[in-house]
Every structure is written in C-alpha cells, then in structure tokens.
Amino acid sequence: MRALICGISGQDGAYLAQLLLEKGYDVVGSSRDAQICNFNNLVRLGIRQKVQLESIALNDFRSVLQVVHRTKPDEIYNLAGQSSVALSFEQPVETLESIMSATINLMEVIRFLGRPIRFYNAGSGECFGDTLGNAADEETPFRPRSPYAVAKAAAFWQVANYREAYGLFACTGILFNHESPLRPERFVTRKIIAAACRIAAGSGERLRLGNTTIQRDWGWAPEYVDAMWRMLQQESAADFVIATGKSHSLADFAEISFRYFGLDWQEYTDIDASIFRPTDIAYGSGDARKALRMSGWSAKTDMSGVIEKMIAEELKSYR
C-alpha cells in the first residue's frame, strides 16, 4: 500500500506517517516546497529518511495531478491548509482558499484519473459551533463560528457531494481538539505547557491567556491519526466524529498543567482581553460512538493524560 499525506509537516501528518510506516506502507509526503522545508516533526519522530517527499501546490490542479499521477497512491490523506482558528480571523481568505482549494483539487484529480484511490479529508469539531452542553455526533447540525470552521464545513459538504455524485471513496473525519508535543506554541495547549515548564524552572515570566472559561474536548493526537486510517479501511465511505466525549475548561487545562509542578496557575497568569476571539465556542464535545461501533476506535487518553505526556516531552527538551 502507498499513501500520499498532504500536510505531512504538521502534527497529524507526522504522526500519521509514523503509523503508516509501522503498518508497512510506502509513505509519500507533500509540502509546497519540499526542497526547503525542514520537516522538523518527521526528524523528531526519526522517520525523515523513511518518507518520500514531493513538492505540491494544492491550489494548482496541474501540480496536484502531476504528483498523484507520478506517485500512484492507494490512499490520500488531506491534512493540509491553515489550521489555526485564531489566525483565521486575521487571514480569512487564505484560510478558506487553503482548505477549500486543496480539497476540491484532490478530489477532482481522483475523479479525473479514475483510479480507486481512497480519500480522507480532515474536518473539525469546530464546525458544530457551540453545542450548548451536548456532545455532537454525525447528525448534529453545523453552526460554525470562525472563518476556519466555515472553511472546514464547506470542505465537508464538498466531500459529501463528490461521494454521492461520483461514487468516490471520500470521507471526512470530524476531529475534536487533539494535542501533542508536536504542536507549535501558537496553539494554546502547548503555550500553557511550555510556560508552566519554564516558570517552574524559574523563568519569572507571566502567562497571557484569553478566555479561560471555554470548554473543549481534548484528546491525544497519535490516537486520532489511527482513527483516520481506520476510516479508509471501511467497506464503504462514511464520515465519523472523533473525540473523547469529555469536555474541560481552558482553566482546568492550565490548573492541571501548573499543579504538576506544585504551582497555582492563577498566580502566574494574566487574562488579556485583547487576545479574546471575535466569536468563540463556549462548549465543545464530541460523541464518537459511531467510530467505536463501526471501526473499533475509541480514545484511550483523557485530558490529564495528554497534559502529562506533553509535560514529559517538554522536560526532555530542556534536559
């Protein structure tokens, strides 16, 4: 089996590449310019030399066609595109184009080539918006509240349309928040972990956070890429919600992170209204029972476990 991972340099792309290599796949990864990208996450996982890397411009149909035709993948995983909710408010056009263009071009190429390529699209639990204390499942309506979520919702419906209109094996994983040490610090979870470690080491800094009352369903990224692979092994294509089913506040995340070092997070944190989002989701949680029923997947690591794993890895980097 050969897989093409678009967005292999990111958190999910790197962990997915590692998983597929362990399963005996030939893995091809794409980046806009593979000659200059450092692929640090692949290096950290020790798999940089085991992956074939290709340059591809996902907003250019011809570029996508050339790479897919040349590499002949059995599976394509679309994990590319602007991935920060906060940044999407500052770059709404780039966010929409990077997510929508890639999705359409990849599916158009699969349709044009006429090969039985299975296609996975990275969706997001952000599409549901505020679920008002309820866990969202595959039947819950979308009410996106950010440019990022709007783009992901549009891509979801494009995938559903190609599946129904052209018979493509195309599906979307509606993944809720999933974290790891490979997250950059612009993501709030890694920002909190890194700051707690530095403060515990005596840095004397202050942690700046926005709205800490928001509640999210946080899982462990290496488990979530396994769900992606399982989705493409089904007899027929279907969309799945992937989540732990448990939601916690950002304040809880910070409290547990600092408590690891015997510290009170509130003594080292400033709430900065300037970094609140224009619109935000008060509560987000996912119901992944369909994934368990159809593929046997379920989350094994809860939020506390995610924090412990991230702190352990962060401390390794200090040593």
pLDDT band at 84 (very low <50, low <70, confident <90, very high): confident
124 is catalytic: yes
Is the pLDDT reported for residue 243 higher than 80?
yes
Determine the average pLDDT of the residues in 245-262. 97
CATH 3.90.25.10 assigned to domain 188-215+247-284+305-318? The reply is: yes
pTM of the model: 0.95
Is the pLDDT reported for residue 160 higher than 80?
yes
148 is catalytic: yes
Is the pLDDT reported for residue 82 higher than 90?
no
DSSP assignment of the chain, as one string? -EEEEETTTSHHHHHHHHHHHHTT-EEEEEETTTTT---HHHHHTT-GGGSEEEE--TT-HHHHHHHHHHH--SEEEE--S---HHHHHH-HHHHHHHHHHHHHHHHHHHHHHT---EEEEE--GGGG---TTS-B-TTSPP---SHHHHHHHHHHHHHHHHHHHH---EEEEEE--EE-TTS-TTSHHHHHHHHHHHHHTT----EEES----EE--EEHHHHHHHHHHHTTSSS---EEE--S--EEHHHHHHHHHHTTT--GGGGEEE-GGGS-SS--SB--B--HHHHHHH-------HHHHHHHHHHHHHHHH-
pLDDT score of 319 = 66
The catalytic residue among 148, 162, 268, 283 is 148
Q: Which CATH number fits the domain 2-179+219-246+286-300, given the four candidates 3.40.50.2300, 3.40.50.300, 3.40.50.720, 3.40.50.2000?
A: 3.40.50.720
Determine the average pLDDT of the residues in 71-87. 93
Is the pLDDT reported for residue 262 higher than 80?
yes
pLDDT score of 299 = 98
Spans of all domains in the chain: 2-179+219-246+286-300, 188-215+247-284+305-318
pLDDT score of 225 = 98
The catalytic residue among 54, 75, 126, 179 is 126
The catalytic residue among 124, 180, 247, 257 is 124
pLDDT score of 33 = 77
pLDDT score of 318 = 73
126 is catalytic: yes
Determine the average pLDDT of the residues in 122-146. 95
By percentage, how much of the chain surpasses pLDDT 90?
Answer: 90
Determine the average pLDDT of the residues in 148-169. 97
By percentage, how much of the chain surpasses pLDDT 70?
Answer: 100
Is the pLDDT reported for residue 75 higher than 70?
yes
Q: Lowest-pLDDT range, 1-5, 86-90, 159-163, 303-307?
A: 86-90
Average pLDDT, the chain: 95
